[in-house]
Amino acid sequence: MHQDNVMEVPLFLLILVTTFIVVGKAVHPGCECLVFSTLYGKEKGTFKSPDFPKPYSPNIDCLLYTFIGNSDEIIELTLTDFDVQKTKFGCIHGDYVKVFMHLESAGVNEYTPWETLLCGRLADIPTVLYSSGPGLVLEFHSGSQTANSTGFSGTFRFIDRKKFRTDGLKLPSTMCDYQFLSSEHSPLYGKFYSPRFPSSYPKNIRCTYRFRARYKERIRVVFEEVALQKGDISCLDRADIIRVYDGKTAADQSITVLCNEGNEIEILSTGSDLFIEFVANSDWPGQGFKARFQFQPSDDNSIDSHSYNRLRTYSSPTETEPNVSETRSSCDIIISSDTNRNGTIMSPSYPSPYPPKTTCRYEFQGRGKERVRIVFQDFNLYHTSEVTKNCENMDSLNAFINIDGRMEKIDNFCGNVLPKPIMSNGPRLKLEFQSLVASRYSRGFKATYSFIENFGITTGTQLQTYPCAFVFNSNESRSGYFHSPNYPGLYPRDTECHYFLYGNASEKIHLHFEYFDVEGVLPCEAVSASDYVEFSNYLTRDRKYSRYCGQLKEFDIESDRKFFRVTFRSNDRLDGTGFNATYHFLDEVESLAKKPSDKSDSPNRKDGLRLLLLLFIFLLTKLGT
């Protein structure tokens, strides 16, 4: 039986021309089964629904596509075309493709659990499916209604499962706890994965990955792919998350929390221990994650060659010493938080004019949860009478961060306007200074750098159990202010910060946003790739409040009770200057009797309240006459 031909015939002829092989007990009597167990020397095999690309017939009760590999293989299915009719009731009450990915053997029956149902169009489904073992089964079903849907087609191949083997030592009597020890007899680098990767991970699991380096070594981990759930929901509300701690256990400082999806996320430990915890409690597991690790000497400041040039290690100079020379070799520098957590950088020859045709790169490398922050003290670059928006063909300073494993420019500066502060989205930041011409009046720039863990937020009490979280307690101060990371500069990308406000039993929290510029468009969801600010009377999401994004005028928000949460979340796309807000803990009496100067609870309600007031005045006037 050759796969390329078997699916070309109409369904009603299948029984006549195809020998059906029933593997194990069928889902129910009457199921026909097509078996794909060899590629006949090809790189990939193909499979199709009956009559594809013509519309499939109704009343296909049970057609099984069974893929069988060797015991050391897994199956990869790639759906290249998919058009299965979807009703308003979803997949289960209409046409569907049922997927069995986690099989102990190649057989299925009416008791075999399935992982997902597929229907709709190609954009509605995962286009690549993986088994966790040597067997995978698709069950195709069509209802009684005739559809004009064409069905599906795809390719399959068998993959050596050793490609996804975790390179650590699995701890005895555990399902997925691993230990990675650096020694003279073990490699300094390797890979590790979520259970079953690249197939979906199991439900209700907790996996730990413990890394222990030798003396004067650090750990570098890069999550190449993270695919837990789609969307942009806060990690506080996700049942499937990855937590990374800068130490031996979950009691140590949190470096980051990962949820949803991401790529090329770099983690650098501050010491010789790193602890990673993967928890999955959702009903719909994702694909999981794959990551690589490396044990590095603590004085190793090397950077991946695909993203950086190899540069010399640099210790920041004193204010009286020239920090760079006019030659290229000494102009390219790396500044590590291991050497100096703060210092000063300057353009060549500052405060004297810089030379022409010079390119200087300033590479910053932090560790743990450190972010790099640049604050400018002086900025004066040569420019013509008109400064262009993107500084093309002008002396300029460009800022780059690591996005999906590549350096991406987030901003550029030229002219003589002092730039606002810059903050990295992770442990690395690069500045590139380019001069095209010389001028005896252009002195260049001077800036201070610092490796910080508080995201530039200096109010409240920072919690170490979250990467970015701050507590404001009524017992410590009944009023104050808070702002987005790096305010008034651009907030960093790929960042989630929480502000927890705790009042006393009879208090509510009143917030006044004086400034608000968060990149995004209504309704501030993942579909519009929006950053957002979220409000809640609980730790979890509060449906009472919609998300806020865009550029908004001053507005007020009030809690329903003594606790209130504000969450700021940015993605890896665009950015804004964030927000600045004040808070007041008010007794319930104060809350009910707001001052006349108080704003409404939402910027969207202002016009409505004004209209109601005018209508009330109009009615009073009519009654008086």
Q: What tokens were used for 531?
A: 């950053």
Give the model's pLDDT for residue 31: 81
Q: Kindly write down the DSSP assignment for every residue of 156-181, as one continuous string.
A: EEEEEGGGG---SEEPTT-SS-EEEE
Do 256 and 244 meet the contact criterion of CB atoms below 8 Å apart? Answer: yes
Give the model's pLDDT for residue 318: 34
Sign of the dihedral defined by the CA atoms of residues 458, 464, 469, 472, in that order: negative
pLDDT at position 616 over 60? no
Q: Averaged over 70-97, what is the pLDDT?
A: 91
Cα-trace Rg, the chain:
30
> What dotted CATH number matches 313-452?
2.60.120.290
Do 74 and 159 meet the contact criterion of CB atoms below 8 Å apart? Answer: yes
Choosing among 3.30.300.20, 3.90.740.10, 2.60.120.290, 3.40.309.10, the CATH entry for 166-297 is 2.60.120.290
Choosing among 3.40.50.360, 2.60.120.290, 3.40.630.10, 3.40.50.1820, the CATH entry for 3-162 is 2.60.120.290
- Name the band, by pLDDT with cuts 50, 70 and 90, for residue 304: very low
What pLDDT digit, counting tens, does each position of 443-470 carry?
A: 999 999 999 999 999 999 999 999 999 9
Closest C-alpha to 147, from 30, 54, 274: 54
Q: Where are the domains of the chain?
A: 3-162, 166-297, 313-452, 461-608
Q: 3-class DSSP state for residue 578?
A: strand
pLDDT at position 602 over 80? no
Main-chain dihedrals φ then ψ at residue 331, nearest 5 degrees: -85, -25
Q: Which residues of 264-296 are buried (b: 16+ CB within 10 A; e: fewer)?
A: bbbbbbbbbbbbbbbbbebeebbbbbbbebbbb
Whether 3-162 shares its CATH topology with 166-297 is answered yes
End-to-end Cα spacing for the chain: 94
Give the model's pLDDT for residue 7: 38
Closest C-alpha to 237, from 438, 498, 624: 498
Give the model's pLDDT for residue 440: 81
Alpha-carbon distance 416 to 413, whole Å?
A: 9
Q: 3-class DSSP state for residue 265?
A: strand
Give the model's pLDDT for residue 350: 93
pTM, entire model: 0.83
Element (H, E) at 205: strand 205-212
Alpha-carbon distance 25 to 575, whole Å?
A: 56
Q: Kindly write down the DSSP assignment for every residue of 340-364, as one continuous string.
A: -SEEEEE-TTTTSPPPSSEEEEEEE
Give the model's pLDDT for residue 393: 84
For 497, other C-beta atoms within 10 Å of its C-beta total: 23
- Looking at the DSSP assignment, which residues form a beta bridge with residue 481? 582
Alpha-carbon distance 439 to 337, whole Å?
A: 34
> Which amino acid, residue 26?
A
pLDDT at position 18 over 80? no
Choosing among 3.30.10.20, 3.40.640.10, 3.40.50.300, 2.60.120.290, the CATH entry for 461-608 is 2.60.120.290
Give the model's pLDDT for residue 588: 74
Q: Kindly write down the DSSP assignment for every residue of 26-64, as one continuous string.
A: -SSTT-EEEEE---TT-S-EEEE-TTTTSPPPS----EE
Give the model's pLDDT for residue 109: 82
Q: Which residues contact 459 (CB under 8 A, 6 or more apart)?
A: 470, 472, 480, 481, 482
